Chain A
Amino acid sequence: MSLESELETTGAAGSVLPAPGERPPHITVRDLTMAFGSFVVMRDLNFVVRRGDIFVIMGGSGCGKSTLLKHLLGLIEPARGEIFYDGFNFTRADADERERMLRRFGVLYQRGALWSSMTLAENVGLPLGEFTDLTPAQIREVACLKLALVGLKGFEDYYPSDISGGMQKRAALARAMALDPEILFFDEPSAGLDPISSRLLDELILELRQSLGATIVIVTHELPSIFTVADNSIFLDTETRTAIAGGDPKELLAHSTNPTVRKFLTRGEGGTTLQNG
């Protein structure tokens, strides 16, 4: 089912989303090389994420997906190359400009990274308190709503240490959505969730894109989720230390001839066996 007809059937009246081909570029990565000291993680990455896309970063464990996300967020400086948002050079921007751009982002970290000295409601409410003029009562209302969206109604006054790992993940998701950001970065959102919550999460992601018109960048290994939500993707390869494929994962599965990509997208079943891998 194509994206357009999907929008039709779910009846997104007044959706802000143009057709995939007409969407302007939102994030542009040019010649990005990432390194820790002399250890090169990935070299020469080039890709474009279009406004309103759900973009998936794929690749084996330890290939540098989280590292790529941290580069996109400016937490690590690139060894070489540049990152643009809406054509604006993020890598060369000064601290104030960066801070202004960061405010339009929402981030879900791989390990949650909830502020452990605050309750869930305070975690979600902190950005609202800092960047909006809402009253404390309104902030609490919004925080409760966001927590309810991720299935955590009633847990507003729990501390992060008092809830399970999967619940922390969902609370962190609520925090990432607090300011209705333009771009959402999710690092393995469904790791640690049960299959049903994981599917609900996919629906939530699609809903976020439609209602907010948000661009969403996701790091994930979850194949069903990749095929459900992604419009576009990049595949990072550990062996060659660079991107070896990109595009709609469904297309990749249908047409890619690269054995590594095929093996990944078919869980190693359609490709070579373990011994000669």
Chain B
Amino acid sequence: MRESTASMSVSRPPDSSLVIELSGDWQLSRTLPSPVPAEREIAAGPKPAKVRLDGRRLGHWDSGLLIFIDAIATVCRTQQVELDLSLLPSGVARLIQLAEAVPERKGARAEKRKAPFLERVGVGALSAWSVAQGFVGLVGEITIAFSKIIRGTARYRRVDVLEMVQDCGANALGIVTLISFLVGVILAFMGAVQLQQFGASIYVADLVAIGIVREMGAMMTGIIMAGRTGASFAAQLGTMKVTEEIDALTTMGISPVEFLVMPRFIALVLMMPLLCLYSDLLGIAGGAAVGATMLGIPLKLYYQETVAAITLTQLFGGLFKATSYGALVALAGCVSGMQCGASASAVGDATTRAVVSGIVLIVAACGLFAVVFNVLGI
């Protein structure tokens, strides 16, 4: 058969029926006539006794035709006009009847309407509130689980803790090395440009040492771990939620918080100070590299200046911050994972939420620490 374009014409023969004549090839890959003119004709004009679809001149057809007829059928149903399918190819009529056979379940279709502004604000606030509640609830459960660990009654596998320690300790060394060294280089570089102007380049060592040890070491490791480990916690727990593995633990009488969250939390909190110490060392090494090559400061002198600049209090302050950031990142990751919905896209959302809330928490905590340390005179 020669290919011909799809066309439709509406006519009203004298017997007060309405005939929609379809001809040509009705396939999705071509441009098809819109059902709107026919629908308008049925709804607007004098009400026809019956609508007849005439498909005797149809060529090839596929779902494109079915969609068109379905639209007409819907209008006929709402207008309560009889629809005559007898002049259509028999396959079409059967498929349409099949689609109409099971009535639509009321309330099953999710309503897609744009909520008014106030409602959206309300829904947003409620969901933020539930996230906050989840956070507090999980902190409580972790505290209880901790006391169980101390009493030796918690249910978790030691090997899981070791695996997590390896994952968020040793396996993170590469990226921490790279970022920390570069941050040290950047700090030294920016300081050098200014300090060189009045011949005080040796103080680059002080600048880098204090900056890295007090703030940047902990902050950088925190942010790296939020992007790396917090995200992976959320994805792991979220996937387990989707596949009902977490339900399976619960109904086995094993608390998912003890079994899944605690090993992750403990591992990250244990590893963070070590990573931070490592990051401090590499940051200072980065500064020293700039000092030695660009400013010509002998390494021994740079070392002495650095040691003189930092106090033990500053060092431990930094390590304490890092440990807190680790706890926050682990919490953010685990809460997002445990609150994950039940689909693949929900896992993606949970991961994003873990990283974003982890970083926000780190920065907020950093501000808080700055004030508290200032008050305490550290």
Contacts and interface: CB of A to CB of B under 8 A. Distances in A.
Interface of A: 39, 70, 73-75, 99-100, 102-103, 105, 107, 109-116, 126-127, 130-131, 175, 238, 274-275, 277
30 contacts: A39-B107, A70-B247, A73-B251, A74-B251, A75-B250, A75-B251, A99-B253, A99-B255, A100-B253, A102-B251, A102-B253, A109-B247, A110-B244, A111-B243, A113-B243, A113-B244, A113-B245, A113-B248, A114-B245, A114-B248, A115-B245, A116-B239, A116-B240, A116-B245, A126-B254, A127-B253, A130-B253, A130-B254, A131-B253, A275-B97
Which of B105, B239, B250 lies at the interface centre, i.e. has the most chain A CB atoms within 10 A of its CB?
B250
Given A39-B107, A100-B253, A102-B253, A115 B101 contact: no
Name the 7 nearest CB pairs between A and B, nearest first: A113-B244, A103-B253, A113-B248, A102-B253, A107-B251, A109-B244, A99-B253
Contacts, number: 61
Contacts of B249: 115
A138 B87 CA distance: 74
B47 interface: no
Interface of B: 97-98, 101-102, 105, 107, 155, 239-240, 243-245, 247-255
A113 B155 contact: no
B107 A115 contact: no
Contacts of A74: 251
A62 B105 CA distance: 11
A28 to B, nearest CB: 19
Nearest to B246: A113
Which of B105, B107, B243 lies at the interface centre, i.e. has the most chain A CB atoms within 10 A of its CB?
B243
Nearest to A129: B157
B248 A115 contact: yes
A74 B247 CA distance: 10
A90 B273 CA distance: 45
A111 B252 CA distance: 16
A274 B249 CA distance: 43
Given A75-B251, A126-B254, 5 more contacts: A102-B253, A107-B248, A113-B247, A115-B249, A277-B101
Contacts of A100: 253
Nearest to B98: A274
Contacts of B252: 102-103, 107, 126-127, 130
A62 to B, nearest CB: 8
Contacts of B155: 130
Contact of B244 (A111, A131, A274): A111
A103 B97 CA distance: 51
A46 B252 CA distance: 26
Contacts of A127: 252-254
B208 to A, nearest CB: 42
Contacts of A112: 243
Nearest to B108: A62
Contacts of A113: 243-245, 247-248
Contacts of B254: 126-127, 130
B258 to A, nearest CB: 10
A109 B248 contact: yes
